Structure 1
Amino acid sequence: MGFHTFDPESADRLEDESRYRYLSREELVGALDLDSESGSSVADLGSGTGFYTDDVAPFAGDLRAVDVQAEMHDLYREKGVPENVELVTADIGDLPFGDGELDAAFSTMTFHEFASEESLAEVARTLRDGARFVVADWSANGSGDGGPPVEERYSRDEAVELLEDAGFEIRRADERPETCFVVADR
């Protein structure tokens, strides 16, 4: 759908720990299933100010915080960026990574901003065979009280269909009161 991106003027809302009610750091890290000893190469797609990036960084060898808005990276720098995190300003449809370069990727509350056939094919291209892609996003079945307008969201079933069409194998797909959570393998 990709109607709009998050307004950097409201970026302080991205650092609100109440976000964990939608996705805990433990659930995200567990779903990524990273092998910390092998030094996994991971990308946070739509990283914003790095709220969830910071949670995953201790478990990754290197983590690329990808956001289309350079202003979000500026805010992340002010907060402090972990040593193993590289800030990458790029559109998800045109990632500056080689074929199969990533061991995992995740998107937290940004899937609705970039999900398209082209963008998901690009994500798939950058992930090695068997790599994990974790998506937590606002659901079209939610009330719309938090997050973007309902008409800009995908339901769990729509997200699953998009991911399967891009060649992902779905391991888990949950519909929650306001969000959906999908774990897929390349």
Structure 2
Amino acid sequence: MGFHTFPIERADALEDPSRYRLCSREELVAMLAPEPDHVVADLGSGTGFFADDVAPFVGTLRAVDVQSAMHDRYREKGVPENVDLVTAAVASLPFDDDGLDGAYSTMTHHEYASDEAFAELARVLRPGGRLVTVDWSAAGDDEAGPPVEERFSAAEAVADLEAAGFEVEEARERPATFAVVATAR
């Protein structure tokens, strides 16, 4: 789909701690299950809100965003030493085959969801590497987020990931969002 990207003029909203009602740091880290030497990508990292939370648990975090202006905002805030800023689309990641131990996206799946992006994630994640997806649900009851027609359900995300060769470990609908944990084969 990839309907839009988050408007840079609203980037301050990405630093709002109320975002933790949708996905807490503890939940994200638990689903990702990183090791201290892992290389992990934040897909649609924006201003680094969740990257800052995951970075202490990994060796290297690749903060991926298609908008270089988001990286500029992250630099203003201060980027942790083990975070690399990568300007790229999820459908064309500049990583080696099997180069990532894990990846996650929080509220950005609807921006990059495509067969090309899922194939690219399958390419860059090592076998057994985890992909965690938390996004606005098409079945959700929250008025925040993108228009409903731009959202996916957990079942749609699962079908897309399985078609790309991922094994889905867990998928659940929540009041406003869905969460999916999958592993690369």
Please give the alpha-carbon distance, in whole angstroms, between the structure 1 residues aligned to 2:54 and 2:34. 9
5+ residue gaps, structure 1, are: none
Matches within 5 A, 1:31-110: 31-36=31-36, 39-110=37-108
Tell me which residue corresponds to 1:180: 178
The alignment status of 1:27 with 2:12, answered yes or no, reads no
User: How many residues end up aligned between the 2 structures?
Assistant: 184
Structure 1 length-normalised TM: 0.98
Equivalent pairs: percent with the same residue?
65
Tell me which residue corresponds to 2:10: 10
The alignment status of 1:162 with 2:156, answered yes or no, reads no
5+ residue gaps, structure 2, are: none
Matches within 5 A, 1:98-177: 98-177=96-175
Please give the alpha-carbon distance, in whole angstroms, between the structure 1 residues aligned to 2:111 and 2:124. 19
String of CA shifts for 1:25-48, please: whole Å, max 9, x gaps: 001001111112xx1000000000
State the shift of 1:169 in Å. Answer: 0.6
State the shift of 1:60 in Å. Answer: 0.6
After superposition, the CA RMSD in angstroms is 0.6
Q: Is the 8 A contact 1:140 1:150 kept in 2?
A: yes
One-letter amino acid of the structure 2 residue matched with residue 14 of structure 1? L
Please give the alpha-carbon distance, in whole angstroms, between the structure 1 residues aligned to 2:40 and 2:35. 11
Structure 2 length-normalised TM: 0.98
